[in-house]
Structure 1
Amino acid sequence: MISEQAKDSIERIFCQAARTRLTVGAGDSCDVAHGTPHGGAADGEVVVLTISSIAFRLLLILHFDHNDDAMRSYYLGARQATLTESLLEIGNLCCGAMNQQLVEYFPDLGMSTPYVLSGQCVPYLDQLKPDFLVSYHVTVNRAVHLGATLCVCADSPLDFVANVSEVAESVGELELF
């Protein structure tokens, strides 16, 4: 069982992580809205990341379309990586930002290495009997569209209220004191 305030906290943590980590440039915009994930047909691939604790398991699933030119251009630029490799990196950063927020409330967290599955697996998330399942449509710079799904399975009652600030986070700049 997951309380409504815990669900709200998880969503706010994800939205902040998406806005700060699913973008490439500091000035890029990122809009996150509830709805059917856009990007990635059922026969495509998804990037899956997991955060686990004694109390719960959270899956972050990023849906994308290999054939989306805007996405390829945005996430690859002049890089020699594949779109999948780039999204594994970006997804890992997003999941890591979520992990940093959640570790304040659950100190026993572990995060998986990101992996790729067939998009045909997504309809089977219900087989996990999740306590919380929500999907998002993510739009970067009004041109790049991808989907995200959060799936949370709780092993015990889950209740917390996250303090999520809307201030832009540092992305690793060197600070001098």
Structure 2
Amino acid sequence: MTLSQRARDSLDGMMAEGLRQSMAQHHPGAQLRAVAAPGPASAATHMAVLSIASYSFRIITALHFAHDARTRAWIAGRIGLDESGMGGQPFLDAVCEIGNMCCGTLNRELGAFYDCLGLSTPQVLDIRSLPHLAQIGTDHLQHFEITDLLPGPPLYATLCARAYTPMDFHWTAPEVQETAGELEFF
């Protein structure tokens, strides 16, 4: 087995952390869980797809989304715009930035174990491309369901990993430290 169970669990944990930081950070009631496949109630029409590549592996992340009023309103609220200002390209840019923040978390955490990582720019693909992730030679494919983030059907995300050499590492989530009144200097 090229990708150990410990590495699979670590990648799943990194993806969950990335989703929490990029999507659910200001929504304490949001629930995140691993699922076998996106549910039939998914309203997704597209995916914001990013990849992390190294000499020894490739990881693809996909944030599923819909071009609908509910998603536009949520995205607009996240970036401080009125929903009427979330047409076409500004909407796609905001979705891709959320995907970039999620994948960036994985990239940062993987950097503790691997050197020479490359992070792609986001690509928007039709959701009908999702089944092809299982056909590109994956060692690990995991879907995530995010509920109670916004009204209506849940949101989904996908992690796909392919290792070219044996991968075995153990990652633990960073501890959240509650602080108040401190200044941070850059």
TM-score (norm. length: structure 2): 0.81
Q: List per-residue Cα deviations over 1:67-119 (Å, max 9, x = no partner).
A: 2x332211113253443221101110111111111100012111000111111
Q: Secondary structure at the match of 1:108?
A: coil
Query: 1:162/1:118 Cα in 2 relative to 1: closer, same or farther (>3 Å)?
Result: same
Question: Residue 104 of structure 1 is aligned with which of 112, 121, 125?
Answer: 112
TM-score (norm. length: structure 1): 0.85
Q: List per-residue Cα deviations over 1:143-169 (Å, max 9, x = no partner).
A: 363211101011111100013225279
Aligned partners of 1:15 and 1:32 also within 8 Å:
yes
Matches within 5 A, 1:19-168: 19-23=20-24, 26=26, 28-35=28-35, 36-37=37-38, 39-41=42-44, 44-67=45-68, 69-77=69-77, 78-79=81-82, 80-81=85-86, 82-141=90-149, 143=151, 145-167=154-176
Within 2, Cα distance between the matches of 1:133 and 1:54?
Answer: 20
Query: 1:140/1:115 Cα in 2 relative to 1: closer, same or farther (>3 Å)?
Result: farther
Q: Higher Cα Rg: structure 1 or 2? A: 2
Moved more, 131-140 or 29-38: 29-38
Within 2, Cα distance between the matches of 1:117 and 1:175?
Answer: 39
- Computed over aligned residues only, the root mean square deviation of the Cα atoms, in angstroms, reads 2.5
Query: 1:174/1:127 Cα in 2 relative to 1: closer, same or farther (>3 Å)?
Result: farther
Query: 1:48/1:30 Cα in 2 relative to 1: closer, same or farther (>3 Å)?
Result: same
Structure 1 residue runs of 5 or longer lacking an equivalent are none
Query: 1:141/1:121 Cα in 2 relative to 1: closer, same or farther (>3 Å)?
Result: closer
Within 2, Cα distance between the matches of 1:174 and 1:163?
Answer: 27
Within 1, Cα distance between the matches of 2:126 and 2:65?
Answer: 11
Aligned partners of 1:30 and 1:138 also within 8 Å:
yes
Identical columns (%): 34
